[in-house]
Amino acid sequence: IKSSAASDVYKRQELEDTLPATLSKELIDGLLKEKLGFNGMVVTDASHMVGMTSVMKRSKMLPTAIAAGCDMFLFFNDPEEDFSYMMEGYRSGIITEERLEDALRRILGIKAYLGLHKKNKKEIVPLKEGLNVIGSPEFKEIAAEASDMPPPAAAASFLFHY
């Protein structure tokens, strides 16, 4: 019996040591929020990534990410199914009332800061035609400026100049 219990403890510790950051309470709450003082909203990696889906079933992985300190998912698989996993995680105690309220406060705080509660959905979600700018020269210029890198033409001349 003792060796079985010790084996279970070892397996749990081994899992905790290899969890992706999105599922690690030690990294998100311990390091990011407590030690480094981050007070913003934490968004998960894509929940379809192998790093997340390979360590546990999706039904446990989703509430575990919230319990670890993530506040919002990058995107869902199946919204109804994923919501049911979250509710089950809340009912079973994986997600505490305190953690749920903290995540909601952070999400609603960002939405209020951005004024999303005052905007029409059409102002928030671009029309399909609006997505045509992605990849255009104007888009690349803005992306280069935002990333503090030279625009594509300047980058090419820079590379060949040196």
- Whole-number Cα distances in Å, 104 to 16, 41, 63, 123: 26, 10, 14, 23
What phi and psi values does residue 142 have, to the nearest 5 degrees? -65, -45
Which residue type sits at 8?
Answer: D
pLDDT tens-digit series, residues 48-68: 777 777 888 989 999 999 999
Does residue 45 have an active-site annotation?
A: yes
* Residue 24 three-state SS: coil
133 CB-near residues (< 8 Å, 6+ apart): 139
The catalytically annotated residue of 8, 17, 29, 45 is 45
Q: What is the mean pLDDT of residues 131-150?
A: 78
Angle at 152 between CA 148 and CA 158, to 5 degrees: 85
pLDDT tens-digit series, residues 36-52: 999 999 998 777 777 77
Assess whether pLDDT exceeds 50 at residue 9: no
Q: What is the pLDDT of residue 59?
A: 92
* pTM exceeds 0.85 for this model: no
Q: What is the mean pLDDT of residues 19-47?
A: 90
